[in-house]
């Protein structure tokens, strides 16, 4: 071989790496026709391809990278980060059936998810790809299953097989309050009053501060103060709506979006007006396909009615990563990247989405904005209403709107119809997986910010999972730690190694308590974000309140 030929193979005239298949390029272009080819839309593009072909074929990934002028490794690393993207080894292997996802989180495990998974795999494994999945936000219908993008409520093996056979995998739209109904009840009147000058941004922000509206996604940061901080930084500014609730036991945002989506949308548009933001980005978890279709419909209706007021509203779809519920990881995902939490400072209020000052609010927080502003501050301040997502061993699970600070015992008795038949209240999780596990003897502690911390717990997103005398607290702790180990993004060593080490230590018959205490301290002190910092609450609360566990 001549030197010239060798140089030709390694120089600019010869493509390095995997060449682009012309047919694959044409197929990708057909799927993405009419959609802007932008880096920040990478995850949306990947969804489009997988929705069309059922999987992400490697040849399509390479062609997409070429169209976006990215290195293929950049696209592959994003696609492989998210659990809902599937890249087969065979470049031409199309699926022969739908994906069946069976939730294995705590509430679903209490309701027989393990047996359901085994039976489903045996029954339809040859006609569908059956997978374990983390919490789907359907805890009030446990055990939760998705066939394709369609939920199977109160799932049984027979109902799952019937869905697989039917070939109908698209979601039904929820029976939600539409734009016309919402406006008939006074909806968007407040937004118009803001835009016409009847209210000033200072009036609105001061009212929120006086009422005490706080972030209801878990952190509890005062909403008015957040808006004021962001407004203080030079524009352009943005709004990001966190609808990626993935904490096991959490489904309150789904409830709000399936029933009253315009409450959230009006709250987001008021926030955009107050901080002079040019756009709103709604990041919705992929497990809520029906809500996604509903929001697309209602955002289009808002646009047609001229109510967006020049604000761009973008709906972005997650891809199965709990870590993207962390605000900076969510912003990374909206930008089309892996959902890795950012180092702080700078904080997202100053350098947020696309490097701009950004207000990040959760769905429930924005849901309450209109009601808070339409009433005197004391209406919300005392007593504050709060949504509790209750699941587990109760007779009537679901979202319960109750005064903030209600006790779990009152929540069970007054809002959930009592314990399930044959079950006695024994323990509870006050704030999902990261809120710790507390005994029934603490059932009269208020479920509110600051009340649970002295006992090692957290209210977080107010996802209350009730355990009974039939349940093993040690097994529950192991289930929760498997979740955290699977969902750690892997960026920082204390969390990546710590969660895996915790799984190993908790699997032992006898727990090494001093070692678990040391591990908890390292993870809390060294982890970048709340996942690694809060995960130790699982075993530290169990060791503190259930001395018989792990013995």
The domain spanning residue 470 has which CATH number? 3.10.20.600
Q: Are residues 202 and 329 in the same domain?
A: yes
* pLDDT confidence of residue 536: 98
Q: What percent of the chain has pLDDT over 70?
A: 97
Q: Are residues 195 and 274 in the same domain?
A: yes
Contacts of 270 (CB under 8 A, 6+ apart): 190, 191, 194, 204, 369, 370, 373
Residue 16 lies in a domain: no
Asked if pLDDT for residue 443 goes beyond 60, the answer is: yes
Average pLDDT across the chain, whole number: 94
Q: Which domain holds residue 72?
A: 21-92
Q: What percent of the chain has pLDDT over 90?
A: 90
Question: From the CB of residue 376, how many other CB atoms can be counted at a distance below 10 Å?
Answer: 11
* pLDDT confidence of residue 167: 84
- 261: domain CATH number is 3.40.50.11540
Q: Are residues 308 and 190 in the same domain?
A: yes
Q: Quick one: which H or E segment has residue 518?
A: helix 513-526
Q: Are residues 333 and 422 in the same domain?
A: no
Q: Are residues 481 and 357 in the same domain?
A: no
Asked if pLDDT for residue 4 goes beyond 50, the answer is: no
Q: Are residues 488 and 354 in the same domain?
A: no
Q: Which residues pair with 238 in a beta bridge?
A: 279, 358
Top-confidence residue, 457 or 549? 457
Burial class of residue 36 in the structure, from the number of CB atoms within 10 Å of its CB (0-12 exposed, 13-18 middle, 19+ buried): exposed
Query: pLDDT tens-digit profile of 355-366?
Result: 999 999 999 999
Q: What is the pTM of this model?
A: 0.95
Residue 239 lies in a domain: yes
Which of 69, 92, 115 delimits the end of a domain? 92
Query: pLDDT tens-digit profile of 122-174?
Result: 999 989 999 999 999 999 999 999 999 999 988 999 999 999 998 888 888 99
Residue 324 lies in a domain: yes
Give the residue-averaged pLDDT of 98-112.
96
Which of 92, 109, 125 delimits the end of a domain? 92
Q: Are residues 311 and 401 in the same domain?
A: no
Burial class of residue 339 in the structure, from the number of CB atoms within 10 Å of its CB (0-12 exposed, 13-18 middle, 19+ buried): buried
CA distance 445 to 276: 41
Q: Are residues 137 and 25 in the same domain?
A: no
* pLDDT confidence of residue 14: 40
Instruction: Indicate the pLDDT class of residue 296, thresholds 50, 70 and 90.
Output: very high
Residue 10 lies in a domain: no
Q: Are residues 395 and 516 in the same domain?
A: yes
Half-sphere exposure of 387 (CA within 13 A, CB side): 24
- Cβ–Cβ < 8 Å for 467, 393: yes
CA distance 486 to 163: 28
- 56: domain CATH number is 1.10.10
CA distance 132 to 144: 11
How many domains are there within the chain?
A: 4
* pLDDT confidence of residue 16: 57
CA distance 36 to 48: 12
Which of 41, 73, 92 delimits the end of a domain? 92
Residue with tokens 């072909």: 53
Residue 11 lies in a domain: no
Strands 150-152, 145-147: parallel, antiparallel or unpaired by DSSP?
antiparallel
CA distance 363 to 282: 9
Q: Are residues 399 and 497 in the same domain?
A: yes
Distances (CA, A) of 190 to 139, 261, 457: 34, 16, 38
* pLDDT confidence of residue 7: 33
Query: pLDDT tens-digit profile of 222-248?
Result: 999 999 999 999 999 999 999 999 999
Instruction: Indicate the pLDDT class of residue 178, thresholds 50, 70 and 90.
Output: very high
Give the residue-averaged pLDDT of 103-108.
97
Asked if pLDDT for residue 8 goes beyond 50, the answer is: no
Give the residue-averaged pLDDT of 418-423.
98
Q: Are residues 235 and 129 in the same domain?
A: no
CA distance 5 to 7: 5
Q: Are residues 251 and 323 in the same domain?
A: yes
Half-sphere exposure of 63 (CA within 13 A, CB side): 21
Angle (CA) 136 342 69, round 5°: 85
H helix intervals, 167-313: 179-184, 189-195, 201-211, 223-231, 252-259, 261-275, 289-304
């Amino acid at each position: 071989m001549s030197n010239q030929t060798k140089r030709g193979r390694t120089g600019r005239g010869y493509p390095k790496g995997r060449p682009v298949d012309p047919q694959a390029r044409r197929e990708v272009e057909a799927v993405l026709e009419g959609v802007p080819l932008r880096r920040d839309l990478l995850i949306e593009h990947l969804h489009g391809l997988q929705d069309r072909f059922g999987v992400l074929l490697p040849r399509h990934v390479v062609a997409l990278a070429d169209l976006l002028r990215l290195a293929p490794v950049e696209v592959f690393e994003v696609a492989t980060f998210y659990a809902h993207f599937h890249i087969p080894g065979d470049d031409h292997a199309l699926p022969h059936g739908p994906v069946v996802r069976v939730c294995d989180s705590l509430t679903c495990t209490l309701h027989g998810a393990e047996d359901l998974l085994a039976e489903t795999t045996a029954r339809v494994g040859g006609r569908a790809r059956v997978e374990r999945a983390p919490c789907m936000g359907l805890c009030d219908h446990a055990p939760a299953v998705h066939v394709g993008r369609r939920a199977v409520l109160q799932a049984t093996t027979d109902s799952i097989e019937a869905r697989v056979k039917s070939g109908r995998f698209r979601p039904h739209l929820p029976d939600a309050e539409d734009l016309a109904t919402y406006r008939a009840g006074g909806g968007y009147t407040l937004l118009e009053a803001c835009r016409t000058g009847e209210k000033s941004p200072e009036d609105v922000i001061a009212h929120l501060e006086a009422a005490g509206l706080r972030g209801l996604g878990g952190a509890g940061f005062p909403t008015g103060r957040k808006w004021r901080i962001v407004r203080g930084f030079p524009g352009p500014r943005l709004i990001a709506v966190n609808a990626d609730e993935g904490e096991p036991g959490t489904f309150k945002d789904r409830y709000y979006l399936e029933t009253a989506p315009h409450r959230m949308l009006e709250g987001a548009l008021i926030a955009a007006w107050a901080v002079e933001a040019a756009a709103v980005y709604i990041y919705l978890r992929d497990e809520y396909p029906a809500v996604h279709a509903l929001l697309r419909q209602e955002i289009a209706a808002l646009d047609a009615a001229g109510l967006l007021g020049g604000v761009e509203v973008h709906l972005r779809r997650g891809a199965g990563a709990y870590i993207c519920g962390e605000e900076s990881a969510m912003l990374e995902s909206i930008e089309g990247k892996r959902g890795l939490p950012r180092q702080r400072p700078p904080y997202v209020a100053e350098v947020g989405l696309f490097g701009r000052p950004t207000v990040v609010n959760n769905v429930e927080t924005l849901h309450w904005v209109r009601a808070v502003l339409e009433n005197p501050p004391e209406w919300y301040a005392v007593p504050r209403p709060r949504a509790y997502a209750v699941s587990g061993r109760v007779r009537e699970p679901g979202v319960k709107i109750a005064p903030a600070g209600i006790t779990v015992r009152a929540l069970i008795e007054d809002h959930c119809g009592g314990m399930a038949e044959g079950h006695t209240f024994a323990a509870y999780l006050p704030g999902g997986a990261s809120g710790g596990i507390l005994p029934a003897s603490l059932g009269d502690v208020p479920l509110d910010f600051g009340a649970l911390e002295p006992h090692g717990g957290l209210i977080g997103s107010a996802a209350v999972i009730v355990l009974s005398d039939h349940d093993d607290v040690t097994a529950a702790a192991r289930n929760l730690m498997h979740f955290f180990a699977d969902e750690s993004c892997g960026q920082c060593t204390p969390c990546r190694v710590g969660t895996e080490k915790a799984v190993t230590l908790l699997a032992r018959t006898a727990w090494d308590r001093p070692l678990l205490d040391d591990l908890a301290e390292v993870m809390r002190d060294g982890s970048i974000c709340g996942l690694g910092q809060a995960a130790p609450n699982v075993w530290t609360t169990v060791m503190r309140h259930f001395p018989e566990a792990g013995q």
